[in-house]
Amino acid sequence: MQQLSSNTKAILLLTAPLIAGHGSSSPDLLSPGEYNRLARYVHDIHHEPADLLLPGAENLHRSCQHIVEEKRMQTLLERGFLLSQVVEQWQARALWVVSRADAAYPRRMKARLREGAPAVLYGCGDIHLLETGGLAVVGSRQVDEELINYTMSIGQLSARAGRTIISGGAKGIDQAAMRGALEAGGKVCGVLADRLERTAMQRENRNLIVEGRLVLVSPYDPSAGFNVGNAMQRNKLIYALSDASLVVNSDSNKGGTWAGAIEQLEKLRLVPVYVRSTGSASTGIDALRDRGALPWPEPHDVEAFEAVLDTSPSLIPVEREASIGLFSNGMVQDSVTETAQKKPQVQIMEDISLPLHMSEEAELSPAQRLFATVREAIRQLLKKPMTDTEIAEILELSPLQTRVWLQRLVDEGLLEKKNKPVRYCIKESGFFENVPHAT
């Protein structure tokens, strides 16, 4: 279990919406740029984010007014109860959270993106998968079956080579690459732009997460919905976690795939950008090649695939992480907790722990064990669609409790609720519901 550090608590209070329910509204959160300026200033005066939460920190708050107005900062930092609520919600779903101040924060991301690395990362699954590198596969959502099959074959080859696939979890190319790798026994990092909590709770994904073959990560609140800007911004995270990247399909001069690839080719230059070099023509692929993308060698066996990745060194080696810390000027080391090593830790809130990985042996609370039993009983019962009344009678439960549990299973993605009349049935689709199997 990961102890939620005092620095991470402070960063969450300052930057995170802390979505606890459908009616949650966020105060005036610090933007990434504002937080970076604040963190740099706090470090320069020999403090750390956690110090903003200490009793008697008013003078420190006041000294930061040129960056964040004092009243605004206090309003954000007073959300301690809300933070405890959302952390409890994350714990119940085995979600973890790390900040740039934590040693567990992915080194690749911090080394390569520096201040561009998200202040906070949320995830579910083995966080160590984020350090394995591998092939980033990206592409359009609307593609034909030929490209789906092609992309799945890339994922399968990556799995046979023991290399991780990194992608964004979107319909089309992303899910095809991830599915191909997972069905071949490989490992996958899914960098999501929205709904991490819902995706992590889907039955198909849960099993893969428990097996240690899938990690889902997002820089956005686990309950956040889709936002075009968020989807664009997370593209650089996909590239930052990889050793090389492959663009299977893209529009020309528009769309997230195009924007992410151009950002790599012309600005960030973290890893080589390859483009598909076989199959149907694509104006977007041709345009990316004209802008400097490399033709994918189309390896057909493990040896050739490994040769591509092994001869594609990143343009910013991960080893530089030792000298690149929280800020782009390299002034700070691996963690902003230098000063914390010189002074005793202060208990700011009740201890909060979140899992950095899952295992079948993980301890469950009595309530979790009870619900696991209920989940399995309902799963076995629903051989055909049934009403909540029928289910309650068979399981000898109260109608109210039955409806509560059924709604929870709908939210998890295990059940589907049908109307006219209201009935419940097993939902067969999961994370990859929109990706046809390769033939």
Amino acid 339: pLDDT: 38
* Strand spans (E) along 143-213: 165-167, 188-191
Q: Identify the pLDDT of residue 119.
A: 96
pLDDT score, position 66: 95
**386 DSSP 8-state letter:** B
- Smallest CA-to-CA distance from 191 within 178, 181, 180, 182 is with 178
Neighbours of 400 (CB within 10 A): 10
Q: In what order do the strands lie in the sheet with 188-191?
A: 96-99, 120-124, 214-218, 188-191, 165-167, 135-138, 244-247, 273-275, 294-295
264 DSSP 8-state letter: I
Q: Which two tokens stand for residue 6?
A: 């005092």
Over the chain (439 residues), the average pLDDT of each successive run of 10 is 82 94 73 95 95 95 96 96 93 94 93 94 97 96 93 98 97 96 98 95 93 97 90 94 97 94 96 94 95 95 92 57 38 37 40 53 61 83 88 84 85 81 77 49
Enter the pTM of the model.
0.75
The DSSP call for residue 68 is S
β-pairing, 165-167 vs 423-426, is unpaired
State whether residue 137 is helix, strand or coil: strand
Q: Is 217 helix (H, G, I), strand (E, B) or coil?
A: strand
Q: Which two tokens stand for residue 410?
A: 């709908």
Which residue segments constitute the domains of the chain, with CATH numbers given? 2-103+335-354 (no CATH), 124-322 (3.40.50.450), 366-426 (1.10.10.10)
Residue 188's φ and ψ, nearest 5 degrees, are -140, 140
Report d(CA 11, CA 100) in Å as an integer. Answer: 9
Which residue's entry shows tokens 């596969």? 137
Q: In whole angstroms, how large is the CA radius of gyration of the chain?
A: 23
The residues near 362 (Cβ < 8 Å, ≥ 6 apart) are 94, 355
- The sign of the torsion formed by the CA atoms of 428, 431, 433, 436 equals negative
| Pairing verdict, β 353-354 and 415-418 | unpaired
Q: What is the dihedral of CA 39, 89, 432, 277, to 10 degrees?
A: 10
